[in-house]
Structure 1
Amino acid sequence: MKRKRDFSFNTHSIRALKIGIPLALQEFLTRLSFLALCAFVNRLGLEASSGYGVACKTVNFVMLVPSSLMQSMASFVAQNVGASNVYRNG
């Protein structure tokens, strides 16, 4: 039988939430702004909408390299934080 104390937050989960909630909020607001921009462009007509679609695909392709760099750096930072050595050098 599950008890309420089985679902309590420990120190690790609180640390993860302190880092994760601001990141999730930032991502949510970014996606919301892109959704609002897309809704605005769709009202301008077919030409503007198709131009916006092509531009979005181009930006997504160009952002592949910075995005992969960001994800790899996030794993290095996570390893350093997990090792309690945030000032680790190369």
Structure 2
Amino acid sequence: MDESWFRLVSDGVRRYLDEVVASARTEHGALAREAGRTAAAWRTLLRLHGGAGGCRECRRQRLCLVWQVAIGYFIRRLPDE
């Protein structure tokens, strides 16, 4: 996977997670805590699955299943969204 393409994808996922956390913080309470925890878990998982030190598929310059799921849920949008 081309490094510049990977950077665009990872920036898009991180931006989405930041937006979700910021939106949840306006709600306060348990929702904000859970959104922050979920976003932190995804950030950690994605950090482990990227670059030369990532998973086996990432080292082969491919998009591993973890990144495929992240792109599907966090970057792609349903037509009505």
TM-score by length of 1: 0.45
Structure with more contact order per residue of length (Cα contacts < 8 Å, sep ≥ 6): 2
TM-score by length of 2: 0.49
Q: Which is helix-richer, 1 or 2?
A: 1
